[in-house]
Amino acid sequence: MSRFIFAICIILGLALSAKASNFSLYPGFQNRDGIIEMTTDKGLVVEIVVRCNRNEDGQVRAGVMTYSKVERLFCSSKNRCGRDGDRALRDTCG
């Protein structure tokens, strides 16, 4: 899961440096086995679409979590927030 935190840091760095108000990255197109499908910078909040798992047919079950730039918190889809991105990922996909 530390790979997830590393990927989030890179994506947040790119998103924070963008001047657009809504800026989206799609790392899932480049890495079919990656955890992060898409990120969208919405100003104070970054929306993160994650791949939870893939079934035998190749279909992906996804989840949505957020990162608050001001509070520096990751929030799962169950609205549980904390500083640990891995925990928010497990809570979103669990």
What does the pLDDT average to over 59-82? 91
Distance CA 26, CA 60 (A): 15
The sign of the dihedral angle between the CA atoms of 18, 48, 85, 51 is negative
Task: Report CA-CA distances (Å) from 26 to 48, 70, 81, 94.
Answer: 10, 23, 24, 23
- Check residue 1 and give its pLDDT: 53
**H or E stretch including 12?**
helix 2-17
The sign of the dihedral angle between the CA atoms of 29, 31, 35, 40 is negative
Give residue-wise pLDDT tens across range 4-63: 766 666 666 655 554 555 667 767 667 777 788 888 888 889 999 988 887 778 777 889
